[in-house]
Amino acid sequence: MTTYRFVFKRGLISRDTQEVSLGKIEEITLHQSIWGRFLGYGQLVLRGTGVGVITLPDLDDPIRLRKIIENAKSALRQDSRKRQRINDDEDDY
């Protein structure tokens, strides 16, 4: 994950890469079985505008990753608003 994008890569010899801009992620779904809840693993599914669905494999502590993505999205929105205010202030001069 970067400041602006979520990138999922898999494969050693052949490579499959899926990426989405953080601002385009519309939904993050968590799938956990009873054992997954008990042992702390699960699967995240990201749905975004223009990219469809990115299904991540079973992960340790998927709730933590979901919070990290949501916090990054929030920080990106705040940064965007801040830049918009600066641009609006510059237009006043």
Within a domain: 92: no
pLDDT digits (tens, 9 = 90+) for 40-57: 999 999 998 887 899 999
Within a domain: 40: yes
Total number of domains in the chain? 1
CA dist., res. 91 & res. 14, Å (int) = 50
Q: What is the pTM of this model?
A: 0.78
CA dist., res. 2 & res. 69, Å (int) = 10
Within a domain: 93: no
Query: Quick check: 29 and 45 in contact, CB under 8 A?
Result: yes
Q: How confident is the model at residue 91 (pLDDT cuts 50, 70, 90)?
A: low
Within a domain: 91: no
Average pLDDT, the chain: 88
- Taken in order 56, 58, 59, 65, the sign of the CA dihedral is positive
What per-residue confidence (pLDDT) applies to 84? 64
- Domain range spanning residue 69? 5-86
Does the structure show a pLDDT above 90 at 25? yes
Beta-carbon-side half-sphere exposure of residue 74 (alpha carbons within 13 Å): 6
pLDDT digits (tens, 9 = 90+) for 63-77: 999 999 999 999 988
Within a domain: 68: yes
3-state secondary structure of 77: helix
Within a domain: 10: yes
